[in-house]
Structure 1
């Protein structure tokens, strides 16, 4: 078991609860969990440690929302997400922790700006076109591989498609379940998943479950407008923190 301070364990436990919340109700909150894990552990090590907890959260989200996914929105993303994961793997092999944080922060702010501009420019509620899907897909694959921070990127994509809350959460659940499982071999190859990280994960799984249960309750009562505003605000907060 790694030697961690009490404060570090509090940060990790809080992050685990946030993972459950983000999967079940508040997608943009996932960045907060990434930040908390990076504060308690070395940045690259935190990437591997949090990955398995994210997969647990994905499984819980699928149990709740698996029937609500927008399959068309998902299929558009597959080729470009794979490309983004490969680029992210190369970047992660050479980049420093500082470059990882700042790169993700800049990407998130760009994605937010593009998404809001697109929403103000048109009232079309259709799924974004091929070019937009490619843009979000590459960035989503890159950010999920580099820092497990694709939550805000893909939230902006699903937000641009104006998916209802339940459909949004179901589509996100299927997307991240597939992507996070696909990342495991790459993470093992890069040495990001370690025995000590696995022990931390085992201890924190109950906190993820608690967060998911609370999130399920929130999702059943939150309005569409408040949901969308919350996603945007949480994404901005996460992006700014990564930059500073």
Structure 2
């Protein structure tokens, strides 16, 4: 059976519960379209549970959020982005499954944080011509897709890479939200058997923990939809880039 916050060494037992609730709300807000904050729910759940265990508890919550976004924004899906990323993400998931036990998670986390931060910085300073050259290069989709698949399996932290992809491709707000939700729904479903059979991080006890958090995911979804509606198209991509950069630094020093 899972135990809460075995790594916190904190005298207040309800702290892990608060962390889990906050993480669940942030899952909902993120999946509703406020991208760039996903790292926060990954870290909060890793503190509330053992890090690897938390990935199995989190996965059903992500699938619930993805399903909501797919249904809510169903008219805005752009299939070409899905077909460009899914095969490479699936390869990344498979590679992570085979190598996950030998990966130094701390070193990997630091490397990914630096790569994401530098990628965002480059996107903020480069002009449209440079952006078009990079995003249209044949290796852009495979590299980001493979890296996203690998990171989503290791720590459910592929959101920043997906954000960089969609912003580089100049995808509008609602197609961005809808298409990324569909991609992550498919890849999260692909991840299920690996978590159940190979890593054994999803079982009866983990599902009970996940079920307790789902109402708070829906609360976050409501907050997220309201927030996204208030963000204009003009500022959406810039906001997501800033949040992505901030979360990568938080991830680095957490």
TM-score, normalization by structure 2: 0.87
Q: Does 1:98 align with 2:106?
A: yes
Map 1:193-208 to 2 at 5 A: 193-208=202-217
**Count of residue pairs brought into register by the alignment:** 244
Q: Deviations over 1:93-137 (max 9, x none)?
A: 222442343343234234434544665553649964431111111
Alignment equivalent of 2:14, drawn from 6, 13, 18: 6
Secondary structure of the 1:192 match is coil
Q: Over aligned residues, Cα RMSD in angstroms?
A: 2.2
Identify the match of residue 25 of structure 1 among 11, 29, 33: 33
Q: Which has the larger radius of gyration?
A: 2
Matches within 5 A, 1:1-244: 2-4=2-4, 5-113=13-121, 115-116=123-124, 121-122=129-130, 124=132, 128-188=136-196, 189-244=198-253
How many Å apart are 1:88 and its aligned residue? 1.6
SS at match of 1:130: coil
The 3 A distance-change label for structure 1 pair 148 and 181 is same
SS of corresponding position for 1:76 = helix
Partner Cα separation in structure 2 for residue 71 and residue 166 of structure 1 = 13
Deviation at 1:167, TM superposition (A): 0.8
Q: 1:192 to 1:24 in 2, by over 3 A?
A: same
The 2-side partners of 1:64 and 1:39 are apart by 31
Once the two structures are TM-superposed, the CA of residue 164 in structure 1 deviates from its matched residue by 1.0
Q: 1:115 to 1:91 in 2, by over 3 A?
A: farther
Q: What SS is found at the alignment partner of 1:91? A: helix
Change in CA separation of 1:2 and 1:93 when aligned onto 2, cut-off 3 Å = closer
From the superposition, tell whether residues 78 and 114 of structure 1 become closer, same or farther in structure 2 (CA, over 3 Å).
Answer: farther
Helix, strand or coil at the partner of 1:202: helix
Flag the 1:129–1:67 CA change in 2: closer, same or farther, 3 A. farther
- With over 3 angstroms needed to count, the CA separation of the structure-2 counterparts of 1:73 and 1:129, relative to structure 1, is farther
Consecutive unaligned residues in structure 1, runs of 5 or more: none
Structure 1 residues 241 and 47, CA, compared in 2 at 3 Å: closer, same or farther? same
